[in-house]
Structure 1
């Protein structure tokens, strides 16, 4: 009797083990926890990974604002206070375009050496008489991008030649250059207010024996420039306010 019971127990154990093996592909019980994740699927051949969004510049850094909004545009956008692009006038916007696109200035400074090779002077196109002739579409696109000024406003410039549909330098050229020194910047939503000083360029002084020494420039005034930051990383100049206590 005892032997029969032992054999019956062994038979029951074997049947139970066989049932567990048969259920090996079934889902685990609810309390077994989540299944371990499988290996990531490889990217399809020829597919391009999603590009990462570029990091926003650190506008709190004066050097960053100096490079993005000022260097090296001379004095055309900040030489005096203005609230609308009409206050600058169409000829000044044309001159800004020349500086932006061709890096042409009155100063003898080597801009490529100071700011990098991308700021090297670019020779402009010339007309049949050998004079620089800046294409209207290019000038107007630059003024629209940086100031929101439309083409019909730019074409009221003295520099615009309607017959040739080009802009040409007339009169005294780009004038004396002053230089900004950014102090700080404060952001309010999409507006960036940049505090800075304007200085004259340093110059060489010679004594009676011909020995040269460098004279530092002089501070002209302090001001605040307002810039609107646009979607996609662009910006537009909105105004310049010369501080009242230092205005001429």
Structure 2
């Protein structure tokens, strides 16, 4: 009931304002479980994808979104519940991963669509990064559900970091054909199989998105970018403080 109302209001508003284009809707099953594995460019990805589908998609979200105090906190929690997101405690890396896997399996076993971002975090520069083998592959192999690769296009350009107002432009969504990993069912304990499954999915996402692929994790890339920015700031600080540098 809440989801339907939120989808109608938020999804309808998004489609009216941004007019996202979609390719491959026929690849989403009309019923039954499936895993939607998408690249991750923007916070809005979790809203644009459900907006164009007839079925509910469940993503996981930080538990902090559901437990913040006050009126704002309650409204935020109601919003995330309304758009089909479920809370996961991410206070510990291993605990967060296990909680996400459990949540995904529960969605699949109930016959639903489970949305997941294999990169684990948003891309820091628009490129596609190495998929983490823990969540996506383990849910797929534990349940036997098909994996549908999804590519979000240009969503990061709608509201870049530091920009207050979103830019009205048409993002895109490409939905690929389902991938069947049933041949590996029950082998979720084999890390080589998990890596192979994840890499196959990421390759399909890369073909759909046209992104440049970088074979490191996005979290590592973010650290590198932050370290480089810090180094440049230090160099500029020291250069500016040296006597004789002014013309």
Q: Which structure features the higher share of strand residues? A: 1
Same fold by TM-score greater than 0.5: no
Q: Which structure features the higher share of helix residues? A: 2
TM range (shorter): under 0.3
RCO greater where, 1 or 2, for CA within 8 Å and sep 6 or more? 2
